[in-house]
Amino acid sequence: MILVTGGAGFIGANFVIDWLAATGEPVVNLDKLTYAGNLGNLAPLEGDARHVFVRGDIGDPALVPQLLATHRPRAVVNFAAESHVDRSIHGPAAFIETNVAATFRLLESVRGYCAALDGAARERFRFLQVSTDEVYGSLGPQDPAFSETTAYAPNSPYSASKAASDHLVRAWHHTYGLPALTTNCSNNYGPRQFPEKLIPLMIVNALAGKPLPVYGDGANVRDWLYVGDHCGAIRAVLERGRPGEVYNVGGGAEMRNIDVVKAICATLARLAPGRDYAAQIEFVRDRPGHDRRYAIDARKIGRELGWSPAETFATGLERTVRWYLDNAQWLASVQSGDYQRWIAQQYATSPAAAD
């Protein structure tokens, strides 16, 4: 049994589905079900006795110890986080609460649980913190890619809050002996991603005949990682990673934002012909503090754990676009309520998507 936090969100839900398919090991899934947490993401697991869903907060000092004592997981995988840069600019308080304060309380709950385990169970137990390459800051065009020893230099409230939580995890390992690992991943994309992020928003807007808003000159560079490959990397780190270590996870697919949007248009032109999608591209005012380039050096996880991505950007994008075309009901369910209020607020300032 493992405990997954934030397992109704984009990466978390894909991980839970992938984990059960790959290992069959039961999962307790704790999620607060904020705007991006969606039980519809977990529809493939309906009726599956190996999956226990609990609605709750990772910072709840009563609930989390109760779940740990009841289910006695051998590992905790922490996906729970506020993760959208633009939202952090408009309202940083929620990011500090979830990514820093609530993560601290989660660590304290896990520390107490781990300390009470017997020798063999304690030796086997792991806490895995799922983080981001954004904690490293921004790279110049010729700078080497982020490695596990790159100094943290976060530039947004989101990345600063994730950097803080990473530092807490590191400190709890070194001070208290918590057997913790951290992964820092590049930009994920794939099925079930909330459509405020670049790739799903471009797909949604393109199909609706709306503008495809691109920040600034569109030359910001990101390394793109298919979410299924990320799930495989997390499994590898959980199974074979060394406690106290950090593992960078990247897709080996650096691309400018404008080229990503053009690739989406070309893929849609093949799979859903009938419109000149590229004609919908519009350049809009850049967002504050927009990091210019991210790139991940993933050689350590390849060398030590034998992981490498299975998807290229082209094959991953094809799978992603097909999923959105085939899941109109899921898309309609998330394009209401809080999502629409967010879009209205964001479009009133700079109508682009986070990358």
The set of residues, in sequence order, having a beta carbon less than 8 Å from that of 39 and lying 6+ positions away, is 8, 33, 53
Query: Would you state the structure tokens that stand for residue 230, as one six-digit string?
Result: 């990320």
Active-site residue (options: 57, 86, 133, 223): 133
Active site residue 355: no
Active site residue 118: no
Residue of 101, 84, 135, 92 lying closest to 248 (CA atoms): 135
Active-site residue (options: 113, 136, 158, 277): 158
Active site residue 304: no
Q: Give the C-alpha distances (Å, rounded to integers) separating 119 from 25, 40, 216.
A: 22, 39, 55
What CA–CA distance (Å, rounded) separates 180 from 244? 6
Active-site residue (options: 134, 166, 196, 229): 134
Helix (H, G, I), strand (E, B) or coil at 296: strand
What CA–CA distance (Å, rounded) separates 241 from 237? 4
Query: Would you state the structure tokens that stand for residue 24, as one six-digit string?
Result: 């069959």
Residue of 166, 292, 280, 170 lying closest to 220 (CA atoms): 292
At 249, give phi and psi (nearest 5°).
Answer: -125, 115
Q: Which residues are catalytic?
A: 133-134, 158
